[in-house]
Structure 1
Amino acid sequence: MNLRLRHSWFGYCFIGLILSLGSCISSKELVLYQKELTDKDTIVATARYIPKIKAGDVLSVQVSSLSAEATALFNPYATISAMGGAQPGSTTTQPYTPGYTVDEEGQIELPIVGKIKVQGLTNTQAATQIRQKLLEYLKEPVVNVRNTNFQISVTGEVARPALFSILNEQVTLPAALGMAGDITIYGKRNNVLVIREENGQRTFNRVDLTKRDVFLSPYFYLRPNDIVYVEPGKVRLASADRTSQLIPLVLSSLSIIALILSRTALR
């Protein structure tokens, strides 16, 4: 066997070893929102989730009116917010925004106005209530309330796992996965785990993204502090296991090939 044939033979052996690390993945495991025989072409999605304020929330309250000078008294965080930037040590993907923390009694304390009960209200309802209080001090005030600690975590077999801050307080499960760079080819699309805290308890809920009825799921719309975890599939686990087993074999084979080639070169 001449040198060229030996090179080719060893090359084919090496390629075969590398290919053996992988495995086929069924296309059905990768396609989302597949249509079943009983599915209709139109599905009414689950009701849009509207969060309500609870103790521990941090609210951004922005006030404007006809008098900019008077309004400034009610916007103590405006200068800090305008500076933008991330809070030191923050792992979120959005700028840090200071605000009013809702205390254990469900209240926030505004300058001059004092304490206002906001727990159990939507942001729109809280803004209306604050506006009523400000009418005593401002002419035609406009109030905007936003929850600054609406965050979700996306982990597991996604391209960019991270903790995300949701500015508009509306995010669906597919959108959250999109922010994380989508599920990798190795992730289980039919068994996505959504961990949610409800009434002081954590619940563990499975969602099948390959079925169209995901739009009817109560976990289609995510809530504050939800954790989304995408499990690795059998291919990923098998690949990792085979890799750990075959790496010593590959290294040994390369050493033998190098030795044979070096001896051949000396002849």
Structure 2
Amino acid sequence: MKTRLILYLSLILFTSCSSLRTRNIIYFSDLERQSLITEEVTPKRLSIKPGDLLAISVLTPNIETNMMFSRGIIMEEGASAGGGQMRQMGDENEGYLVDTRGTIDFPVLGNMHVSGLTTEQVRDTIVAKVRDYVQDPIVKVRLQNFRFTMIGEVGSTVIAVPSNNEEVNLLEGIAMAGGISTYGKMDNVLVIREQDGVRTMARINLNKKETLYSPFFYLQQNDIIYVEADKAKVTGTSFIRRNWGFVAGLVSSAFVLYRLL
């Protein structure tokens, strides 16, 4: 009798436990368990898009030339044409807006097409053009409006990235937002991206190593990242309803034990 009882209870518990739905909450769980994995990484630089705001500064040995290529730069009182101190006036964050044609209007140089270029390429282009006026120019170009949006089970926030950082991957973005909650579905993260008038939506599985090679792993300007909630949270079910099979098995087992004792 005891043997039959044990077999019966084991069958019930095995059947009940199989109804429990488990989720993989480990990042890249299919990654080989080795102490060291080395792979070549190709840096992903952002491409400038219409609507971007660029901070551009041109510095040369000549103050008058600096004033030609900069907005709001004036000489300090007592400075001479061959030297002296300079200071910035006005709003330093004004920047140069990339219009719908992908161009900016830069002092002296006029309209420049920058869409599709990186900030480094824009810098090299400006350096080459400024050299027609003065030798050894120093040009700095930074993107001022690199931001992305996180919603769902990772908080709801718009994150502005510092202008000195143009390489933010999906993991870093999630960390900036505070991480994925225990209800978040790591295997179904949605990335929405608009580029060249086309909206693209991609599903990312953070349990898989292949995500590291996805073109959506590195974030771009105005990306939207949505982490879907687990079905249990969406339906608002309690623990008993979420694990009804398991609970039913326990109740059945208790009833059988009561009858036999």
On whether the aligned pair clears a TM of 0.5, the verdict is yes
Residues 154-203 of structure 1: CA deviation (Å, up to 9, x unaligned)? 11111x42112222221100000010001111111111111112442222
Cα pair 1:45 1:215 within 8 Å, conserved: no
Match of 1:126 among 116, 119, 122: 122
Letter in 2 for 1:191: N
**1:131 Cα deviation after fit:** 1.4
Partner of 1:150: 146
Provide the C-alpha distance between the structure 2 equivalents of 1:45 and 1:192, rounded to a whole number of angstroms.
Answer: 25
Q: Which has the higher strand share?
A: 2
CA distance in 2, matches of 1:52, 1:190: 28
- Residue from 208, 212, 218 that aligns with 2:209: 212
Alignment of 1:126-205 (within 5 A): 126-158=122-154, 160-166=155-161, 167=163, 168-205=165-202
1:112 and 2:100 are equivalent in the alignment: no
- Asked if residue 50 in structure 1 is aligned to residue 45 in structure 2, the reply is yes
User: Where is the helix percentage greater, Structure 1 or Structure 2?
Assistant: 1
Q: 1:99 to 1:36 in 2, by over 3 A?
A: closer
Quote the Cα distance in structure 1 between the aligned partners of 2:201 and 2:135.
Answer: 49
Q: SS in structure 1 opposite 2:187?
A: coil
- State the secondary structure of the residue aligned to 2:121: helix
Per-residue deviation at 1:232? 0.6
Which consecutive aligned stretches of 4+ in structure 1 deviate over 6 angstroms post-superposition? 37-41
Structure 1 residue 62 displacement after superposition: 1.4
User: How far, CA to CA, are the matches of 2:202 and 2:184 in structure 1?
Assistant: 17
Count of equivalent residues: 204
C-alpha contact 1:195 1:203 (8 A) present in aligned 2: yes
Q: Distance in 2 between matches of 1:59 and 1:37?
A: 42
Cα distance change, pair 117–186 in 1 and its aligned pair in 2 (3 A): same
**Secondary structure class of the residue paired with 2:50:** coil
Tell me: CA distance 1:170–1:71, structure 2 relative to 1, closer, same or farther (3 Å): same
Preserved CA contact (<8 Å) 1:46 1:217: no
Aligned amino acid, residue 187 of structure 1: G
- The superposition leaves residues 124-174 of structure 1 with CA deviations (integer Å, 9 ceiling, x where unpaired) of 11111111222244442111112222221111111x421122222211000
State the secondary structure of the residue aligned to 1:98. coil
Q: Which consecutive unaligned segments of at least 5 residues does structure 2 have?
A: 1-19, 73-87, 240-261
Q: Within 1, Cα distance between the matches of 2:52 and 2:69?
A: 19
1:185-239 deviation line (CA, Å, top 9, x unaligned)? 111111111111244222221111112222122211111121100011123224x
Mapped partners of 1:45, 1:180: distance in 2? 28
Do 1:43 and 1:215's aligned partners in 2 also have CA atoms closer than 8 Å? no
Specify the structure having the higher radius of gyration (Cα).
2
